[in-house]
């Protein structure tokens, strides 16, 4: 066999190997980007819930708390319906917080619980088809420092 004939066969082999490996490499790169986006969204939700909880410890108006949380997550697409706000007595099990459940009477020491949640859709079609939308959620719990009663807007 001549050297030119061997070189010609090797070029075809490299092309076939590249065609087989390219889709795997593309999925890995896009998957890495999707994981990075998910981490960014989760960090944004964490910051939104922390800022909402910081607002809730001095102002117990749920719509004000939701607005503060949404304003601190501008790139995520978080809306006020994705922010849950509630207040509980420390002894009543803060893990089962239902929206609208209030301390009676509202006073310092009650817990302000703010949860931000959002459905994340991966951009990669293969990953999106397998996993579907992923619900990301972050909760912040802080004790109320000032109970404003009926004077808060």
pLDDT in tens, 27-82: 889 889 999 999 999 999 999 999 999 998 888 888 999 999 999 998 888 998 99
Closest CA to 114 of 89, 138, 143, 148: 138
Candidates 85, 146, 95, 149; CA nearest to 117 is: 85
In a domain, 114, yes or no: yes
Q: Residue 153 domain-assigned? A: no
Q: What is the dihedral of CA 131, 133, 134, 137, to 10 degrees?
A: -170
Q: How big is the chain by its Cα radius of gyration, in Å? A: 25
CA 100 to each of CA 35, 76, 80, 103, 119: distance values in angstroms, whole numbers, following the listed order: 34, 25, 15, 10, 23
Residue 92: CB partners within 8 Å, gap ≥ 6? none
Whether 148 maps to a domain, the answer reads no
* Domain-located, residue 12: yes
Q: Give the DSSP H or E segment for 51.
A: helix 3-56
Helix axis angle, 62-71 to 3-56, nearest 10°: 150
Judge if pTM exceeds 0.85.
no
Question: Does residue 51 form part of some domain?
Answer: yes
Token reading at 17? 């190997």
**pLDDT value at position 149?**
59
Query: What average pLDDT does the segment 75-104 reach?
Result: 70
Q: Which of 87-91, 111-115, 133-137 has the lowest mean pLDDT?
A: 87-91
Residue 116 falls inside a structural domain: yes
Question: Which 3 state secondary structure label does DSSP give 88?
Answer: strand
In a domain, 152, yes or no: no
The residue-averaged pLDDT of 74-93 equals 83
Report the C-alpha gap between 115 and 86 in whole angstroms.
Answer: 9
Give the domain extent around 79.
Answer: 3-143
pLDDT reported for residue 147: 72
User: Cα angle vertex 139, ends 134, 143, to 5°?
Assistant: 175
Q: Give the tokens for residue 145.
A: 């420092």
Task: Note whether residue 56 is domain-resident.
Answer: yes
DSSP-derived secondary structure letter, 145: S
pLDDT for position 93: 54
Number of domains in the chain: 1
Q: Which two tokens stand for residue 24?
A: 């795997």
């Amino acid at each position: 066999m001549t050297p030119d004939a061997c070189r010609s066969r090797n070029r075809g082999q490299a092309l076939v190997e590249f065609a087989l490996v390219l889709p795997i490499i593309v999925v890995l790169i896009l998957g890495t980007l999707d994981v990075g986006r998910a981490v960014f969204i989760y960090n944004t939700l964490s910051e939104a819930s922390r800022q909402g909880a910081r607002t809730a410890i001095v102002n117990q108006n749920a719509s004000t708390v939701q607005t503060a949380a949404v304003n601190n997550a501008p790139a995520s697409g978080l809306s006020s319906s994705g922010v849950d706000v509630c207040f509980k007595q420390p002894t009543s099990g803060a893990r089962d917080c239902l929206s609208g459940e209030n301390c009676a009477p509202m006073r310092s020491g009650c817990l302000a619980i703010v949860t931000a949640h959002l459905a994340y859709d991966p951009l990669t079609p293969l990953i999106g088809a397998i996993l579907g939308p992923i619900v990301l959620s972050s909760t912040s719990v802080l004790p109320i420092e000032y109970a404003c009663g009926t004077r808060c807007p």
